[in-house]
Structures are given as C-alpha cells and as structure tokens.
Amino acid sequence: MKNDEIKILAIESSCDETAASVVVNGRDVRSNVISSQVPIHTLYGGVVPEIASRKHIERINQVIDEALKEAAMGLDEMDAIAVTYGPGLVGALLVGVAEAKAIAFARNIPLVGVHHIEGHISANYISAPELEPPFICLVVSGGHTHLVKVTDYGKYEIIGRTVDDAAGEAFDKVARAIGLGYPGGPKVEAKAKEGDPSAIAFPRAKVSDRPYDFSFSGLKSAVLNYMNGCTMKGETYNEADIAASFQAAVVGTLCDHAVMAIEEFGVDKFALAGGVASNGAFREAIKDACDQRNVKFYCPPPILCTDNAAMIGAAGYYSFISGRRDGWELNAVPGLKLGER
C-alpha cells in the first residue's frame, strides 16, 4: 500500500443529499462535501424521489470534483471507491452506484459497496478515534430507527428496530401537522424549547413480545387526535407544548430502550448515529443515562450525523481491509438489510 495510507473516495446519494468525501485509513477525513436538496423538497413538504434523483445527477460530478480538490488528491491516488448501495430511494441510489462504478472501471480502482446504516454507525469512528467495537449504537434518522450491537468492524446484531415509522419520520409528520414545515427535526426541536414537555401525556408505545422494537406511528396519530379533539371542542392548542410533549415521548422511548440494552448486554460504550442524533434533547437524555451507569457515551457532530459521504468512507475502509470487493454488476438495493450483502 502507498505509504501505509489507504485512501478512499466515498459517494453517497441515498436520499436528498449528494455527497462525496476523501477519507484516509477510515478515520482521517480529508474532505466532506455535501450538496443538500432540502430547500427544493421543502416546497413539497418532504422528499420527492423523482426530484431527488434528478438533482443528484445534476450535482454529482461537481461534488466529487470538489471532494478531490479539497483533499488535494487525484483519482489515481485512491485505493478504493466506496458507494452507498442501500437502503434508500432506489432512483437516488442508482445515480451514485452507476457513477461510482463508471469511475472505478475507467481508472481500474477497486469498488466497495457500503450499507447506509453501517455508514451512520461508522461516523463514530471519525469523531472518536479511540472508539473500537464492541459497543451498542442507536441509529435514528428520517428513514431508520435501529438499536444495533456492533460486535466487530462490519459485524452487527440488530437488537431492535421500528415496526412502522422511523423516529425522524414522526418528527416530519408532526411538524407538518402543527404547521412547522419540512424538515421536521430541527423545527420541532426549536419549537419544543418554548413549550412544556409534560403538558400533554402522549403515549410511549411498546411492541408486544419484542421489547427492543419501536413503534412511532401511534404517537403521530395521538398528536393528530389531540389536535382534532381541541378543534372539535373549540379549544386552541399550544404548538410549542405539542412539540415539547411529542419530543419528550420520542426521546423517552428511545432512552428507555437504550437503558434496557445497556443493562442487559453490559457494554461499556454506547453510541448514537443518524440525523436525529443532532437533536439536543435526545443527545442530553442518552448522555445522562450513560453517565449515570458509567457507560462511555459517543455521538458524532451534526455534520457527521446528517447523510454524508465521510461516514461511507469510514465504513468502506473497514469493508475494504476485510477484503470486500464489488463487481461491475453492483446494483442499488433499496431494502438492503444491515449485515446482508
């Protein structure tokens, strides 16, 4: 290997961010370029898959060029190209996958397909250079809610997952209902700061027989029912109290599951990942729970929590050194499961 450094160009296009990054040895981020489509999708109140796919193809070369330029490296210095191939929006994923394959083919560079959630988890390797498996990771984003035991690099046991809406999805839906718009996460969080988290007792759903699984669709319905109830009675409702009480219910549920896993599995390290990990109330709650139990708490900064390619470069590195190589037939797999190929 060149100078004992393994350099990876990573590409991510699974949802509404077009991203590219150069990562050295899995943890040293030389560039992390993200072109966000949020302003466009805001017009539609959520991500429109066809528009997302179209925007990816308009921006992808510029984003990759910028990532290489910022890292002051050329394609021929890359040891591998890592690309997200699932899960996500199929049309969006396909742009990154086709682009990555073509670049790798043209320059004869090894190709490594990366699982998007594995990327989110691996963001912690970037922000915490000392972190090594085993640890438990709670991945919470607009599309995913997974409680995962990371037993080794690239080895995962899923402890729990959502059976319906992802936590971030619930934030988006509630934000829409109380008129805050898209994206829901940051908007609900800001509004919640003005409200009383104990004002309304929203339910904290449990999934029968599967204590670690999550369910958030009932909570979203409870918020809508509460609002309808107020309207029918001719009462006004307080959006800030709704936001605060809803957020408290989500955070409470996530925290309960985290604590249960920490106690049952006896790990000494707990990590957060995914876009919702940027939520301050959520971070604080999990950090407090970890501190009380002498468990070391990890959480990447917001720039590594949102969809980005640096995390794909980190996950791709561990995949690459374990020997994984993908062929030119690599396809986008929208429903890819963690730990599957």
Q: In this complex, which beta carbon is closest to another protein, that of residue 25 or of residue 53?
A: 53
Contact segment (CB under 8 A) with another protein among 54-62, 170-178, 179-187, 215-223 equals 54-62
The token pair that represents 92 in the structure block? 């969006």
To another protein, the closest distance from the beta carbon of 325 in angstroms equals: 14
To another protein, the closest distance from the beta carbon of 305 in angstroms equals: 27
Cis amide linkage into residue 211, ω under 30° from 0? no
Residue 102 touches another protein, criterion: CB under 8 A: yes
**Helix (H) / strand (E) containing 46:** none
Contact segment (CB under 8 A) with another protein among 102-110, 190-198, 233-241, 317-325 equals 102-110
Q: In this structure, how many other beta carbons lie within 10 angstroms of the beta carbon of residue 82?
A: 32
Q: Is 158 exposed, middle or buried (0-12, 13-18, 19+ CB in 10 A)?
A: middle
Q: Select from 38, 69, 72, 107 the one that contacts another protein (CB under 8 A).
A: 107
How many residues of this chain bind another protein (CB under 8 A)?
36
Residue 70 touches another protein, criterion: CB under 8 A: no
Alpha carbon of residue 103 to chain centroid: 26
Separation CA 96–CA 13 (nearest Å): 5
- Strands 28-36, 17-24: pairing kind: antiparallel
Residue 276 touches another protein, criterion: CB under 8 A: no
Q: Select from 67, 89, 95, 261 the one that contacts another protein (CB under 8 A).
A: 95
Contact segment (CB under 8 A) with another protein among 58-66, 139-147, 180-188, 197-205 equals 58-66
Q: Select from 42, 72, 105, 225 the one that contacts another protein (CB under 8 A).
A: 105
To another protein, the closest distance from the beta carbon of 196 in angstroms equals: 37
Encoded amino acid at 121, one letter? I
Contact segment (CB under 8 A) with another protein among 244-252, 268-276, 302-310, 323-331 equals 323-331
Is the torsion defined by CA of 193, 163, 275, 130 positive or negative? positive
Separation CA 116–CA 312 (nearest Å): 7
- Strands 269-273, 135-140: pairing kind: parallel
Q: Select from 276, 299, 332, 336 the one that contacts another protein (CB under 8 A).
A: 332
Residue 99 touches another protein, criterion: CB under 8 A: yes
Within the chain, residue ranges assigned H as helices are 38-42, 49-70, 90-107, 116-127, 167-177, 184-192, 217-232, 239-265, 280-292, 302-305, 310-321
Residue 80 touches another protein, criterion: CB under 8 A: no
To another protein, the closest distance from the beta carbon of 86 in angstroms equals: 12
Longest Cα separation, the chain: 71
To another protein, the closest distance from the beta carbon of 99 in angstroms equals: 4
Cis amide linkage into residue 203, ω under 30° from 0? no
To another protein, the closest distance from the beta carbon of 108 in angstroms equals: 8
Q: Select from 25, 27, 51, 287 the one that contacts another protein (CB under 8 A).
A: 51
In degrees, rounded to 5, the angle at the alpha carbon of residue 303 between the alpha carbons of residues 135 and 182 is 110
Residues 185-204: x where in contact with another protein by CB under 8 A, - otherwise, as a string: --------------------
To another protein, the closest distance from the beta carbon of 70 in angstroms equals: 16
Separation CA 78–CA 66 (nearest Å): 15
Site residues, another protein (CB under 8 A): 43-44, 48, 50-51, 53-54, 57-58, 60-62, 64-65, 75, 90-91, 94-103, 105-107, 327-332
